[in-house]
Amino acid sequence: MDIQPFEVHIPQATLDDLRERLARTRWPDTIPGSGWEYGSDLAYMQELTAYWREQFDWRAQERAINQFRHFRAVVDGLGIHFIHARGAGPNPLPLIITHGWPGSFVEMLKILPMLADPAAHGGDPADAFDVVVPSLPGYGFSDRPSQPAMHTFRIAELWVQLMRGLGYERFGAQGGDWGASVTTVLGLAHPDELLGIHLNYIPGSFRPHLPPGTPLSADEQAFLEDRERWSQDEGGYGHIQATRPQTLAYGLNDSPAGMAAWIVEKFRTWSDCDGQVERRFTKDELLTNVTIYWATETIHSSARLYYETRRRPLQLGPGERVTAPCGVAHFPYEIPAPPREWVERGYDIRRWTTMPRGGHFAAMEEPELLAEDIRAFFRPLRPGD
């Protein structure tokens, strides 16, 4: 496998063009006093984009990002960007962490040092990991797929090849959002190579096999009803990305303000922020993620993952189970999450932690809580223990 060092760098011409486009934004009107009721709040988006144009320092964020060791590998013909942080401990456990949408690898920048060097963050060096954080195909600095069928099952195969190319024959995996789907598929399709999987989200397309007449608990029935309500109230983005991503692409790929509104609304709605997005994420954090999407022109290719995975959902057949040991960290402000009994129909649950706070973007919102749960889950699964 061809692996080369990589440095994150956005050309100045791209940044200049971004500022010019932001200055020419044609703003829509809104219902006075409606706030976020109809979608992204006009006043907040004008404030955020003014900051983006006039004060946001991408070069400072770039320097911080490049403090980590970045690489690009050609995996089965596709260029994959990733961070590789060697663990500071006696026997680091290899761990691949996968992000989701509308996030990116920058979601993991807080938690990565806590896992690679736990002693420097109040932990035990025996819990160290060799951490690999890739960018999903079609996201950030990974290549945009030029062929169909780049779904989570395909991505899981790429991750196995990537880890083998790095010299890891057995490893752990962790993820939320799409990362939880990829991680689940790793545990389903490669149980002999996976020491364990840790999830902070149960994939939305996950369905255990339920023979006709299978009784459901009251909690399971309530979850299915809650999920349907959520899909009606909040799921419009997913439906269009799963059915007509190309039509959406023309607007989002051309308007940075439009793309920012599409992404930031999710950070507000899905996080434990009580409706105030900057209680959880600074403008710099939000805009670093958004700028990566803009500069790499990957908002459309990232959305295609919904289209591809709709055609290859994570639905278990008769006798199928995810047999790799599984840990789940449930954050209370997560997108509707199933009860444990639903998850246990398809996963080998070894640890289930109900967190006191936090939402969908757990690695950014509550990195300490998530890092400690990952350490605790993998502790008894480490080779030699």
pLDDT of residue 236: 96
pLDDT of residue 132: 99
Helix (H, G, I), strand (E, B) or coil at 292: helix
Question: Of 237, 306, 307, 333, which one is the catalytic site residue?
Answer: 306
Please give the backbone phi and psi of residue 167, each rounded to the nearest 5 degrees, phi first: 95, 15
Confirm if 235 and 310 have CB atoms less than 8 A apart: no
* Domain membership flag for residue 228: no
d(CA 121, CA 260): 33
Q: What's the sign of the alpha-carbon dihedral 368, 357, 377, 360?
A: negative
* Domain membership flag for residue 216: no
d(CA 330, CA 108): 18
Confirm if 266 and 44 have CB atoms less than 8 A apart: no
Beta-bridged to residue 175, according to DSSP, are: 98, 199
Q: Is 84 among the catalytic positions?
A: no
Helix (H, G, I), strand (E, B) or coil at 328: strand
pLDDT of residue 303: 98
* Domain membership flag for residue 107: yes
Residue 132 CB burial class (10 angstroms; 0-12, 13-18, ≥19): buried
Helix (H, G, I), strand (E, B) or coil at 172: strand
* Domain membership flag for residue 218: no
pLDDT of residue 384: 77
Residue 351 CB burial class (10 angstroms; 0-12, 13-18, ≥19): middle
d(CA 307, CA 309): 6
Best CA proximity match to 325, nearest among 204, 173, 105: 173
Best CA proximity match to 284, nearest among 61, 50, 18: 61
* Domain membership flag for residue 219: no
Q: Which single residue is written with the structure tokens 């962490």?
A: 97
Best CA proximity match to 332, nearest among 351, 358, 361: 358
Q: Is 51 among the catalytic positions?
A: no
Residue 38 CB burial class (10 angstroms; 0-12, 13-18, ≥19): exposed
Structural domain span for residue 12: 2-207+234-381
CATH number of the CATH domain containing 149: 3.40.50.1820
Q: Is 177 among the catalytic positions?
A: yes
* Domain membership flag for residue 299: yes
Which whole-number Å values give the CA distances from 92 to 87, 99, 127, 295, in the listed order?
5, 21, 7, 34
* Domain membership flag for residue 215: no
* Domain membership flag for residue 229: no
Question: How many distinct structural domains can be found in the chain?
Answer: 1
CB proximity list for 3: less than 8 A, separation 6 or greater: 71, 72, 73, 165, 166
Question: Of 41, 130, 177, 272, which one is the catalytic site residue?
Answer: 177
Which parts of the chain register pLDDT below 50?
385
